[in-house]
Structure 1
Amino acid sequence: SFTAHGVTVTDPYAWLKDPGYPEVTDPDVLAYLAAENAYFEGVMAPLKGLTDRLYAEMKGRIKEDDASVPQKDGDWLYWTSFETGGEYRKWWRKPVAGGADALILDETALAEGKEYFRLGAFSVSNDGRLLAYAIDDNGSERFEVRVKDLVTGEPLPDVIPGMLSEIVWTADDKGFLYGLANEQWRTDNARLHWLGTDPKDDVELFKEADEGFRVGVSETSDRKWIVLATSDHVTSELYLIPAGDPLATPLCVSPRKVGREYDVDMHGDTLFIHSNDTDPNFRLCTAHISAPGEWVEKIAPSRHFYMTGVDCFKDFFIVDGREDGLDQIEIHRYDAAIAPQRIVFPEASYDAGLGNNPEYDMSVLRLGYESMVTPGTEYDYDVATGGLNTLKVQEIPSGYDAAKYRTERLKITARDGTEVPVSIVYPADFPKDGSRPLYLYAYGAYGYAIPPGFSTGRLSLLDRGFAYAIAHIRGGDDLGQQWYLDGKLEKRAHTFNDFVDVARGLVADGWTAAGKIAIAGRSAG
């Protein structure tokens, strides 16, 4: 037990926290974990035949020797691959002008002999010569930065422990920015490391005083500015540093205001500012770099369109969002006289968005698309013609026939009259007479929307006669930030009521029956 602010808190499970974590050596803790595992194995023993079949099914749908579609960044094409039986990626590149494939990072080799391995930040220098990356090989969620010369293949002596952030190179590639984790596993700082120097001498460019905020580093699309962002879940504040002068005094875009979030990108000397300052569905403003706090509205907020992001390119900018809960991608020219073009997707319920588009001057955009019946698909979208070129469709080695399944988007009325969207997938011969089982999933927290995407594991349920539904309940931002706010704090009960009411509505509409519905939510869900 402990006492704080005059209140004594008793935790009967405190003994389960090994003081040496992430290394667990306490014999009582290890004995308890062994007992839990033994109990699980005993309960599941009668179902071993089924679990073995399910495992074989799910594994048979995974293409183990898979690779991503190469994407150009500067003078190189980059991609990743998995080998059969491998758990980790290999990172590759080759010259755009032609040449041999070069393995630039082998996660399998880095993970060899380790009980745990995770790759964090991965950043190639602007000239393509150096790779800075971060690894966690003990599960502590504190990463170690390393640097590799991609020409010689040799590691540089620069090693930085305790990092928890992205990595952003300076314009001259002589150094990079990053952040260290504090004792609470929060990143409250942004630091500059010059190659070849002792990390103890790194320059702290920014320090956040509010323990509820976290600091991140990124860069604008043209790579001319480094962005220092500090924020909690409801308030943000951004600073800009010239990538060519990282020791310059950071320029505050606009001082923090409680409840206001914003992010920025750049086109020339114009800031593109995406903010919820006047409406929870966000709007787009612009400002000149010389007066970053003087915002001028460029795209007003919309009741039905939730603007989730803005990305600037040389000849156009992209507005991402959701209209009535469905993903939309709009291409806007800098000339306001040219009408924006919206990319049209074919299905009633889907998950779509920009893919990896690393260059500022692009005329063809990489997109990702999937639905509850359509496997993950990568496209190249020609901005000039509007043409979509299919680059890759997720391969399912054991076979997949989309015609065997159907997907719909429903609306079910909650007890307070609010219509809650529901994405559902089911076998093509599914009778809506209450005779079949249904699995219902929801999250509803932290403003995180659950996309109606594809899942190979889910097919094992569908092929046994189940329907599978996702309830887009309040607490997520599926229908906008207000949808998130309406499931938060004093309105948190809406999240649970929506989930219950969707389940009852699915029963009432004949999708399943009482006693034949399973529900699940994970983490904060």
Structure 2
Amino acid sequence: MSRQSALNLTVGIGAAAALYVVRLRRSAYSTLSRRVRPPVLEKRPKMVPFGAVAGQNRGSSPMKPILYLEDPYFYVRDDSRKNEEVLEHLRKENEYTDVKTKHLANVRANIYDELLSHVQETDEDYPYPHGSYLYYNRTVKGSSYAYHCRKAKTKNAPEELLLDENEIAKGHNHCQVASVSPSPDHRYLAYMVDFSGYETYTGYVKDLETGKLLPDRIENISSLRWGQDASVLYYATQDEAHRQNKLWRHTMGSKDADELLYTEDDEIYSAYFQKARSGKYMFLLSSSSETSEVSFIELDNPSKPPQVIAQRQKGLIYSVDHFGDYFYIVTNKDKATNFKVMRTPVTSPSPEHWVDVFPYDESIKVDDVDCFKDFMVMEGRQGGYSQLWIIVPEGDKHARRQITFKESSYTVSGSVNRDFDTDKYRFIYSSMTTPWATFDYDVNTRESTLLKEKPVPNYDRSLYKTERLEAKASDGTMVPISLVYRSDLRSQDRQPLHLYGYGSYEIPIDPSFVSSILPLLDRGVIYAIAHIRGGGEMGRTWYEDAKYKKKINTFTDFISCAEHLVKTGYTSPSKMTCEGRSAGGLLMGAVLNMRPDLFTAAIAGVPFVDVMNTMSDASIPLTTGEWEEWGNPNEKAYFEYMLSYSPYENVKQQAYPNILVTSGLFDPRVAYWEPTKWVAKLRDMKSDQNEVLLKMDLSSGHFSASDRYHYLKEKAFDLAYLLDHLKAIKEEDKKAPKSAAKL
């Protein structure tokens, strides 16, 4: 035998041995994965009361006698998040999820690399003008958080680093910086930081000349903004149920107690600040989802008590901005369901003086009016899409013109506009194939100028195509569906498809660019958004047709969209997954109870699934304010209806698809115990062999990881899970990643 032949034989034997080892490991893993059993929560039945419970806020008309529902997992709730028995169970859930998804480790790592390849890691926002400076944020490759910077408007001015979030985040698993704002004289920088994910912040003020923090540190706040100058800060605090209920004024450098300006005692309402861009007024808002009340403070006469513009009247919603001698008001007054613009003299703000700026147009949903020195911008919706209109007062009349765009399907909204005296309006624009872009609209020339499109490396928009479909709902309503896919991978056969939905709080899920879905599209998966009722896509009525005792329309709309996509040949149940987060998690829970046969897998992110227990207990964050969204199960009028769709109570002995549930231990909006209990009940009741996995982040809240690289790793986990169940993983995805990423 020649040396070369011997070498070939040796190499061949080595390769065969290596392959055998790999197969042996895979076999061992497969056996382990099949044998490992999910954590089991012990059942400790508790009868939970609904109705008039002595000493508790149960709403205005609680039932008598009390009704009870049995909850075997009620004990999992621990407001302190320190119960070691519960924490150990959550750790075991994570371990179980790790084992069940271990075969996707290489896929996750490769998807992470792919996601990162679409990120311009070192980048900066287009600077926005504010006074004599240009402000912007930038990111640096390898740094997880943003740098807040500015430059003087003078030529070749050096950069000033105002705030380094990376320094702030050191030593913390979570770091959310918010309300970053320079003082009116640009000497100081105010900002808030939350290290837990619980959305309770500490406020700081930094002297930009010395670089040092001032002693004016304000604990346990939820919003922060400057007054007319750098001598005063306004901030808000929350009650024990996380409701923003008190508005305060802090005088910089003062040792006196801060001044309490307003307390909202009605637990259905929350209180907010809004400063007029003119700098003359601070508005104090108190609102529920169906009623609002606005007062104002004259910032050049701050000792003068707040003056109410219109006393709260059930069903009257309004917001206010300032322009010249008038307050401009967006309101549903006079049965204007989709809202209209009115105005009233600053000296006579009460409702009897309000007059229409434009005749009410039911085809336009008016969301906001943003006032500048010489013009206004109206934000709203028409034809199912977001829109912008420029308003220029001409004496007692107003000229209104719409900013138009070439694409038929898009998303547009205002950007950062800090200067009051300007002839330009900055906005951002996107579509499902167009990355987010920043524009300036010149009010005089009526032209939009592209300032910057967010760079997306390794993306060729010509490869992708969008469509807009309509599905007929069970009551005949036509429900829009937005699609995006790789046109060169589109086939006449049924393709893998991922369907996303939300459908609550009048929040629209608009067709915009999301780079994190590119790994789906590039593997032949169609991405679809169901614009279901309960959202705000088609106006206020679209929302009102799916709240209270019409909530089930949200779920049946989603089912109709899924059925339409199957009927028209885009996909099939065995090739379709679905996803929703928060209230969209409620959607997932309800739909999977109603039609589990429509999907092969689902992702429910921070899902609001324990509707009955949560909405009956006023001590749980957000509950009281949301009685005007879902209803109050303590009241006879809502108990049976809410019980009919609440995901946790309606888990059945039936087959369910594979389900991945994600949550955060410190989430104040959807508490960790909701998904934890739901997962336990699903496993106990379902009749199939599909997997229900719980992935609990033990250091974050509702909005997931604050570290941008950690966030991409979480996205990679979800995408690998979806691709696995859609059978869309490529062979190269299974190979060891080129990077050192370990997921």
TM-score range, shorter chain: over 0.9
Report the CA distance between 1:14 and its aligned residue.
4.4
- Given candidates 395, 414, 418, the residue that maps to 1:358 is 418
Report the CA distance between 1:286 and its aligned residue.
0.4
Residues 1:43 and 2:100 are matched in the alignment: yes
Change beyond 3 A, Cα 1:510–1:139:
closer
- Given candidates 176, 184, 202, the residue that maps to 1:118 is 176
Q: Is the 8 A contact 2:385 2:510 kept in 1?
A: no
Cα distance in 2 for partners of 1:522, 1:145 equals 29
Q: Match for residue 57 of structure 2? A: none
Query: For residues 315-371 of structure 1, what are the alpha-carbon distances to aligned partners after superposition, in whole Å with 9 as ceiling and x for unaligned?
Result: 111111111111211111101666422111111211111111111111122111111
Report the CA distance between 1:10 and its aligned residue.
5.5
Q: What amino acid maps onto 2:219 in structure 1?
A: P
% identical equivalent positions: 35
Q: Match for residue 345 of structure 2? A: 288
In structure 1, runs of 5+ residues without a counterpart are none
Q: Match for residue 365 of structure 2? A: 306
Report the CA distance between 1:432 and its aligned residue.
6.3
Report the CA distance between 1:377 and its aligned residue.
0.9
Q: Is the 8 A contact 1:145 1:160 kept in 2?
A: yes
Query: For residues 438-483 of structure 1, what are the alpha-carbon distances to aligned partners after superposition, in whole Å with 9 as ceiling and x for unaligned?
Result: 1111100111100111111111111111111111100001111110
Q: Match for residue 457 of structure 1? A: 516
Report the CA distance between 1:169 and its aligned residue.
2.0
Residues 1:249 and 2:305 are matched in the alignment: yes
Q: Match for residue 566 of structure 2? A: 507
Cα distance in 2 for partners of 1:70, 1:80 equals 8
Cα distance in 2 for partners of 1:170, 1:404 equals 49
Moved more, 431-440 or 123-132: 431-440
Q: Match for residue 330 of structure 2? A: 274
Report the CA distance between 1:163 and its aligned residue.
0.5
Residues 1:232 and 2:288 are matched in the alignment: yes
What secondary structure does 1:64 align onto?
coil
Cα distance in 2 for partners of 1:123, 1:392 equals 23
- Given candidates 268, 272, 297, the residue that maps to 1:216 is 272
Q: Is the 8 A contact 1:170 1:246 kept in 2?
A: no
* Equivalent residues in 2 for 1:108-507, closer than 5 Å: 108-165=166-223, 167-198=224-255, 201-277=257-333, 278-293=335-350, 294-335=353-394, 339-397=399-457, 399-429=458-488, 431=490, 433-507=492-566
Q: Is the 8 A contact 1:309 1:320 kept in 2?
A: yes
Q: What amino acid maps onto 1:110 in structure 2?
A: I
Bigger radius of gyration: 2
Cα distance in 2 for partners of 1:246, 1:97 equals 35
Q: Is the 8 A contact 2:244 2:270 kept in 1?
A: yes
Q: Is the 8 A contact 1:194 1:202 kept in 2?
A: yes
What secondary structure does 2:515 align onto?
coil
Q: Is the 8 A contact 1:432 1:512 kept in 2?
A: no
What secondary structure does 1:515 align onto?
helix
Query: For residues 264-316 of structure 1, what are the alpha-carbon distances to aligned partners after superposition, in whole Å with 9 as ceiling and x for unaligned?
Result: 11111201000112222100000001111121011233222111111111111
Q: Is the 8 A contact 2:490 2:524 kept in 1?
A: no
Q: What amino acid maps onto 1:223 in structure 2?
A: G
Q: Is the 8 A contact 2:484 2:526 kept in 1?
A: yes
Cα distance in 1 for partners of 2:285, 2:276 equals 12
Report the CA distance between 1:19 and its aligned residue.
5.1
Cα distance in 2 for partners of 1:198, 1:453 equals 48
What secondary structure does 2:561 align onto?
helix
- Given candidates 88, 92, 97, the residue that maps to 2:154 is 97
Report the CA distance between 1:58 and its aligned residue.
1.0
Report the CA distance between 1:11 and its aligned residue.
4.7
Q: What amino acid maps onto 1:317 in structure 2?
A: M
Cα distance in 2 for partners of 1:460, 1:97 equals 43
Cα distance in 2 for partners of 1:34, 1:320 equals 46
Report the CA distance between 1:18 and its aligned residue.
4.2
**TM-score, with normalisation over the residues of structure 1?**
0.95
Report the CA distance between 1:15 and its aligned residue.
4.0
Change beyond 3 A, Cα 1:36–1:514:
closer
Moved more, 100-109 or 514-523: 514-523
Cα distance in 2 for partners of 1:431, 1:405 equals 10
Moved more, 357-366 or 473-482: 357-366
Change beyond 3 A, Cα 1:153–1:276:
same
Cα distance in 1 for partners of 2:443, 2:273 equals 30
Query: How many pairs were matched up?
Result: 519
- Given candidates 120, 138, 155, the residue that maps to 1:81 is 138
Moved more, 336-345 or 299-308: 336-345
Query: For residues 32-62 of structure 1, what are the alpha-carbon distances to aligned partners after superposition, in whole Å with 9 as ceiling and x for unaligned?
Result: 1221111101110122232222121112111
Aligned alpha-carbon RMSD (Å): 1.8
Cα distance in 2 for partners of 1:138, 1:460 equals 31
Larger % of helix: which? Answer: 2
The answer to which structure, 1 or 2, has the higher relative contact order (CA under 8 A, 6+ apart) is 2
Moved more, 381-390 or 349-358: 381-390
Q: Match for residue 735 of structure 2? A: none
Query: For residues 211-258 of structure 1, what are the alpha-carbon distances to aligned partners after superposition, in whole Å with 9 as ceiling and x for unaligned?
Result: 121111121121110011011111111010011222211011101111
What secondary structure does 1:29 align onto?
helix
What secondary structure does 1:507 align onto?
helix
Larger % of strand: which? Answer: 1
What secondary structure does 1:299 align onto?
coil
Q: Is the 8 A contact 1:432 1:511 kept in 2?
A: no
Cα distance in 2 for partners of 1:315, 1:269 equals 12
Cα distance in 1 for partners of 2:197, 2:560 equals 39
Q: What amino acid maps onto 2:136 in structure 1?
A: W
Report the CA distance between 1:16 and its aligned residue.
3.5
**TM-score, with normalisation over the residues of structure 2?**
0.68
Cα distance in 1 for partners of 2:354, 2:278 equals 21
Q: Is the 8 A contact 1:442 1:499 kept in 2?
A: yes
Q: Is the 8 A contact 1:170 1:244 kept in 2?
A: no
Q: Is the 8 A contact 1:131 1:149 kept in 2?
A: yes
